[in-house]
Amino acid sequence: MKIFLKISLLFFLISSALCASLYLGLGFLVSMHSTKPEKADIIVILGGDDGLRVSKGGDLYKAGYAKHVLLTGIDSRYYRPNHPNWRERKLMARGVPRKHIIVDTWSETSWEEAENTSDLMDKNGWKSALVVSDPPHMLRLNKTWKKAFAGTNKRFRLVATEPSWWNPLLWWRNPISYRFVINELKKNIYYLVTYY
């Protein structure tokens, strides 16, 4: 009986340690595909932005990483080409000429952003993209963009913003990062079933 209790306790401790490690490691899992930028044909700033993505994309442009910037996820119902929206204005304020900004009003999901960007790149003969988003999106974006670019010679690099609320080890302690990670886990499962 004592051996059974010792084995049960050992099993419980090992299982608990594995579960805790998995839980704590989720922040690293969802953000691990972020890379350093390299020269590219276009910088793609994904939608759902609170300003950090536009700032990062503007910095990449100013640093000479690409000559064109694509803003995705802008709602066509409210977009007026003659009146730049706040994301365009923020880019222009950071030194990006309006003629170098392309606006995507047709993409509503991350999948559509990748596919439509791939089509745009084909039309312009572009082969490389820097894709800017927040750290917890990197796992799903890596899978999505790989699938969208499969069978082509196009390539992409994921570049993460640096939000003050993000810590891959302590993600569960901040309400914003907690929400992001949990939502991304759900979206990864949905994308796995729907697109991959």
CATH number of domain containing 173: 3.40.50.620
- Residue 77 domain-assigned (yes or no): yes
Alpha carbon distances (Å) from 150 to 13, 116, 133, 155 = 43, 14, 21, 9
Question: Residue 70's closest CA among 78, 83, 82, 49?
Answer: 49
Residue 32 is predicted with a pLDDT of 93
**118 CB-side CA count, 13 A:** 19
CA distance 96 to 174: 33
Which tokens is 102 given?
């392309």
Under 8 Å between Cβ of 163 and 181: no
Which tokens is 22 given?
């998995």
Confidence of residue 48 (pLDDT cuts 50, 70, 90): confident
- Residue 47 domain-assigned (yes or no): yes
- Residue 168 domain-assigned (yes or no): yes
Confidence of residue 75 (pLDDT cuts 50, 70, 90): confident
Which tokens is 110 given?
């991350």
> Whole-number mean pLDDT of the chain?
90
- Residue 152 domain-assigned (yes or no): yes
Under 8 Å between Cβ of 69 and 102: yes
- Residue 88 domain-assigned (yes or no): yes
- Residue 169 domain-assigned (yes or no): yes
CA distance 70 to 122: 14
Residue 49 is predicted with a pLDDT of 85
Question: Residue 154's closest CA among 124, 192, 181?
Answer: 124
- The helix (H) or strand (E) run that includes residue 175 is helix 175-194
**Each residue of 83-129: pLDDT tens digit?**
899 999 999 999 999 999 999 999 999 999 999 999 999 999 999 99
Please state the domain count of the chain.
Answer: 1
Cα 58 to the center of its chain, rounded Å: 16
Residue 89 is predicted with a pLDDT of 94
Which tokens is 50 given?
């609170």
Q: Does residue 157 register a pLDDT over 60?
A: yes
- Residue 14 domain-assigned (yes or no): no
- Residue 98 domain-assigned (yes or no): yes
| Domain hosting residue 75, numbered range | 29-194
